[in-house]
Amino acid sequence: MFLAGTDLQFYEATQNRWYYWAFSDGTDQATLFAFTDVDNSLGFGGSVIEQTSISTWLLHLDDAMSFYDDGDNDVLIQIRLSAATPTPAPEPATLLLLGSGLLGLIGFRRKFKK
């Protein structure tokens, strides 16, 4: 669960003989190619984030060693954010039934102890 306004950070690890890493808040070459559209081929002003509805987004990412190709299509991640709903409290009738059942079990047990 995240509070409203919290920045979400992502990372990628690509393995091809060695591991290559890219972090959404980084500034190295792997990060720039993975998390930005350096040639604006998507038409989002350099961003790789496409909002698809009021609560969903699609990230068009390259892998962490994509400084050789800038297709912005190696990794697609769909994100859906929704408001958390509180856990409902038990209804009074539920508590009454639970209490009645426990009292019944206690009475039944006492009856057989005598």
3-state secondary structure the chain: CCCCCCCCCCEEEEEECEEEEEECCCCCHHHHHHHCCCCCCCCCCCCCEEECCCCEEEEEECCCCHHHCCCCCCEEEEEECCCCCCCCCCCHHHHHHHHHHHHHHHHHHHHHHC
Residue 29, in any domain of the structure: yes
For residue 109, the model assigns a pLDDT of: 65
Residue 87, in any domain of the structure: no
Residue 69, in any domain of the structure: yes
C-alpha 78/C-alpha 83 separation (Å) is 17
For residue 51, the model assigns a pLDDT of: 94
Residue 102, in any domain of the structure: no
Task: Provide the domain count of the chain.
Answer: 1
Residue 35, in any domain of the structure: yes
Cβ atoms 58, 47 nearer than 8 A: no
Residue 94, in any domain of the structure: no
| Residuewise pLDDT in 10s, the chain (114 residues) | 677 778 888 888 888 888 888 888 988 888 888 888 888 888 999 899 999 999 999 999 888 887 666 677 788 889 888 877 766 766 767 767 777 777 777 776 666 655
Tokens 């969903």 identify what position? 56
For residue 111, the model assigns a pLDDT of: 62
The residue range of the domain holding 74 is 11-80
Residue 50, in any domain of the structure: yes
Residue 36, in any domain of the structure: yes
Beta pairing partners, 21: 13
How many other CB atoms are there within 10 angstroms of residue 51's CB atom?
A: 11
